[in-house]
Amino acid sequence: MLHKGHGGAGAVFAALALSATASASAVPSATCGALAGGGIIPWRGDAVRIVQARWLAAGPDGTIPAHCEIIGVMHERVGVDGQHYAIRIHLRLPDRWNGRFFFQGGGGSNGELGDALGRLVPGAPSALKQGYAVLSQDSGHDNATNTVPDRGGASAFGFDPQARADYGGTSLPAATGAALATIRRYYGRKPAFSYFVGCSKGGQEGMMLAQRYPALFDGIVAAAPGFALPRAAAAKAWGTQVLADVVRQSGHSVTPVTLANAFSDGDLALLQKAVLGACDGLDGLADGIIADTRACTSARVLPELARVTCSAAKQDTCLASAQVKALVRLHDGPADGRGQVFYAGLPWDAGWGTPGWRAWLLGDRVHGISVGLKMGAPSLGAIFTTPPTAIDTSTGLDASLAFVLNFDIARADAQITAVAPPFVRSSWRDIGAQSTDLSAFRARGGRMIVLHGASDPAFSLADTLNWVKAVDARMPGGSQGVLRTFAVPGMNHCAGGPATDEIPAFAALVDWVEHHRAPRRIIARAGAASPWPGRERPLCVWPAAAIYDGHGNPEKSASFHCRLRTES
C-alpha cells in the first residue's frame, strides 16, 4: 500500500546514494530576495505564487550549504467537498549549483511538503549538499488542513476528484514546471540534467513520470513502486482477512490487538528458520540471505514448514496448521471472483516475520497498530475505490478493521475501475501506473532504475517483476536499454530487514545517464540495524542473482558473481 516511513524523507531515501557531479557555479544571496519580490512566476500557461523566499547561510557542521529556500503555491481552489486545496512546492536552490535538478518523491498519502534536502545513504552528502536544486511537494493536499477524522483522516482528500488525480500524478508536471521556471529565473538557465528519486508512493510517482510524462526527466529511480496502489491496498485488506481467520480458529474474537497476536515473535522466528532452511544455501552460501529469490519456491519451503507444524495443539515450539495455511495464502495472493489472481502474492524470503514485515501485516502486539489498518484501510475506502467510503478514524482502528473484514475481494476490481459522479475517472486511471509502454521515455534518452525488496510486505516484488517481464515482451530487444531492475534479497519496504539495504542506486543512475555506463550490478552494504553491519553484496540486474564463488571473504562483494536466476 503506502509508505510513510519512520524517519520522514530520510527513511524514504535511505537506500539511495548519490555521486559527486560537475563543478558548481555561485549565485549571490541578493538574488533570493529579488525572487521573493517577484510574487508570481509564470510558465507555459501556468504559474506559481511565491509565498516565501529566504536566504539560508551554510550550517556550522557543513551538512547544509548556503542556499535560497522557496515555498510556492499553485492551483488554489475549493474542492467539491468544500475543502481548500492547492499544490505546494518546496524548492532549495544552492549557492553553488551543479547545474542539475533533483525531484524528491513523496510517501504514504502525501499531504506533506517534504524537506527538499534529497537525503540519501546514511553518511553520504544530501543532493542539496552535492549542489543539486532540490524539489519536494505535497501532491495537492495538506494534511494540516485537509484531514477530516470521520472521512478517513488524512485520506479525506479522496472525496475530491481533482485532489485524487493530483495525488495520483497530475501534480507532478505542475510541480516540475514550477520548479524549472523558478530555477531559470534564479540561475538564468535551465538544468543540464533532471532526476527523480522516490520510494513507495514516490516509486509510483517515478513510474507515472516515465509512462505519462516521459519528457520531463533524464533519469528516474523508482524503488518499491506502488504503481498498482489500488490493487495492492485491496490485496492487503484480503490479507488482513486471512490473518483474521487465524485469530478465529484460535478461539478469539478479531480485534486490532488479537490480529497483531495471530503470530507471536516466536512463531515468526520459526517461520524465518523454515524459509532459510529451505532456501538459504541456493546461492552457494548459507549466510542468512536468499539471493536466488526465484528459486525459493513453495515446493522447497512447504516441507520445511511441515516440520515445524504442530501435530496436535498449538505449542510455542511449533506453528498451528491454520497459521501455516495463512502463510501459504499470503504467498499465493488473492483471487478475484473469477478465480484469477488479483494481485501477486509475496515471495518467500528471509525477511518474512521481521519487525518491518510485522509492522505492515500484523502490527504492534501491545496496541495492535499496523500500517495496514492505520493508513491502508482509510486509503482503500477514500482514495482507491469509487464511490469513496467514509471511515471514522477518530475513535481508533475499530472502524478500519470492520471495513477491511467486510471488504469483498471479488468486487474489488469493479470498485477500483468504477466511475460515479463527481468522479469522471476511476482510481485505477488516476493512480495506477502499470503501462508497459516506455517507448517515449526511451526515445528521449531516459533511463530508469527500479529497486524492490524481496521481503516487501506492502508491495509485492512479484508484481514488479511481472511488469518488467511484460515490458521486456513489448519492447524490441528487451527493456534493459532503458530499464534496469534490482531485486534486494531480505529487504522490507524501502529499507530494513536482513538485507544489504544501503544502495548507491542514484550514483549508478547518474553514471548511466551522463556517461552512458549502464549498471550491471550495484554494490550494496548492510546498515547498522541489519544482522551484519558493513556486509557487502552485489545487487544484480534482474533476472540474475549474486552467487558465491566458493572462496574469498563472504562479507565482501568481490567474492560473488552475477548469474541468471533459476526459473521456477
pLDDT higher at 13 or 523: 523
Q: Which of 7-21, 133-147, 366-380 has the lowest mean pLDDT?
A: 7-21
pLDDT for position 29: 63
Alpha-helical segments (H) within 22-157: 30-38, 143-146
Least reliable range by pLDDT among 97-106, 116-125, 268-277, 367-376: 116-125
pLDDT tens for 193-251 read 999 999 999 999 999 999 999 999 999 999 999 999 999 999 999 999 999 999 999 99
Give me 263's grid cell.
503470530
Instruction: Label residue 30 by pLDDT band (50, 70, 90).
Output: low
* Residue 7 near residue 14 (C-beta atoms within 8 A): yes
Torsion of CA 565, 298, 204, 468, to 10 degrees: 40
- pLDDT > 80? residue 21: no
In this prediction, residues 316-343 reach a mean pLDDT of: 93
Q: Report pLDDT digits (tens) over 57-69.
A: 998 888 899 999 9
The answer to whether 262 touches 246, Cβ cutoff 8 Å, is yes
**Residues 540, 458: Cα–Cα separation, whole Å:** 22
| Alpha carbon distance 524, 498 (integer Å) | 13
CA distances from residue 367 to 115, 255, 261, 371 in whole angstroms, order as listed: 30, 10, 10, 12
Other C-beta atoms lying within 10 Å of the C-beta of residue 193? 18
Put residue 197 in one of left, alpha, beta given phi > 0 → left and psi -120 to 50 → alpha: beta
- Compute the half-sphere exposure of residue 221: CA atoms within 13 Å on the CB side of its CA: 34
Q: Tell me which of 109, 194, 200, 530 is the catalytic residue.
A: 200
Residue with the three cell numbers 534518452: 445
Phi, psi angle pair for 263, to nearest 5°: -130, 125
Checking if the pLDDT of 380 tops 70, the result is yes
Residues 71, 257: Cα–Cα separation, whole Å: 42
Residue-by-residue DSSP string for 390-453: ----TT-SHHHHHHHHT--GGGHHHHHS--BTTBSS-HHHHH-------HHHHHTT-EEEEEEE
Of 455, 493, 530, 557, which is the active-site residue?
493
Radius of gyration of the chain from Cα atoms?
Answer: 23
218 given a catalytic annotation: no
Residue 389's CB is within 10 A of a number of other CB atoms, namely: 18
Predicted confidence (pLDDT) per residue in 264-320, tens digit: 999 999 999 999 999 999 999 999 999 998 899 999 999 999 999 999 999 999 999
Contact present, 402 and 392 (Cβ < 8 Å)? no
Q: What share of the chain in percent tops pLDDT 90?
A: 87
Region of 243 on the Ramachandran plot (φ > 0 left; ψ -120 to 50 alpha; else beta): alpha
pLDDT surpassing 70 at residue 13: no
Q: State which amino acid sits at residue 63.
A: T
Is it the case that residue 52 has pLDDT exceeding 80?
yes
Please say whether the dihedral angle defined by the alpha carbons of residues 489, 494, 499 and 504, taken in this order, is positive or negative: positive
Query: In 3D, which of 10, 3, 7 has the Cα closest to residue 136?
Result: 10
Catalytic residue from among 456, 460, 479, 557: 456
What does 450-482 look like in DSSP terms, one character per residue?
EEEETT-SSS-HHHHHHHHHHHHHHSTT-STTT
Listed by start position, the domains of the chain span: 26-196, 230-416
Is residue 75 part of the annotated active site? The answer reads: no
Closest C-alpha to 102, from 115, 116, 89? 116
Q: Would you place residue 7 in the very low, low, confident or very high pLDDT band (cuts 50, 70, 90)?
A: very low
User: Would you call 493 a catalytic residue per the annotation?
Assistant: yes
